Structure 1
Amino acid sequence: MLLKEQYDTLVSLVQKRDDDALSALLSTLHPSDIADFIETLEEEEKLYLFNLLDARVASDVIAELNTAAKGEILGSIESNQLAAIVDEMDSDDAADIFDELTPTQRAAVLEGIDEEDREEVEALLQYEDETAGGLMSLEFLYVYEFQTVREVINLLRARRDQISDIHYIYVVDKKFHLKGMLRLTELLLAKRSQRVSEVMDPVPATITPDLDQEEVAKIFKKYDVPSLPVVDSEGKLLGRITFDDVMDVVDEEATEDFMRLANVEVGERVYGDPLSSAKSRLPWLIINLATAILASWVVGLFEDTIGQFAFLAVFMPIVAGMGGNAGTQTLTVVVRGIALGDLDYGGAKKVLVKEIVVGLLNGLVNGILMGIIAYVWKGLPIVGVAIFLAMVINLFVAAFFGTVVPLVLRALKVDPALASGVIVTTATDCLGFLSFLGISKFLLEKML
Structure 2
Amino acid sequence: MTNALRLGIAGLGTVGTGVVKLLSADADRLAMRIGRPLEITGVSARDRTKDRGIDLDGIAWHDDPVALARADNVDMFVELMGGEGDPAKAAVETALKAGKHVVTANKALLAHHGTALARLAEDGGVGLNYEAAVAGGIPIVKTVRESLAGNRIARVFGIMNGTCNFILTMMENEGVSFAEALAEAQRLGYAEADPTFDVGGLDTAHKLAILSALAFGTEVSVSSVYVEGIEHITRQDIRAARDLGFRIKLLGVGVETDSGVEQRVHPTLVPMDSPIADVQGVFNAVGVTGDFVGDLMLEGQGAGAFATASSVASDIVDIARGHVAAPFGAPATALKPYRRARMRAHEGGYYVALELYDRIGAVAAVAQRMAEQGISLDSIVQRADLAEPNGASAKGEQTRPVIMITHDTLEKSMREALANIDAGGHTARPSRMIRIERF
Tell me the TM-score normalized by structure 2.
0.24
**Structure with the largest fraction of helix:** 1
Higher relative contact order (CA 8 A, sep 6+): 2
**Structure with the largest fraction of strand:** 2
Tell me the TM-score normalized by structure 1.
0.24
**Structure with bigger gyration radius:** 1
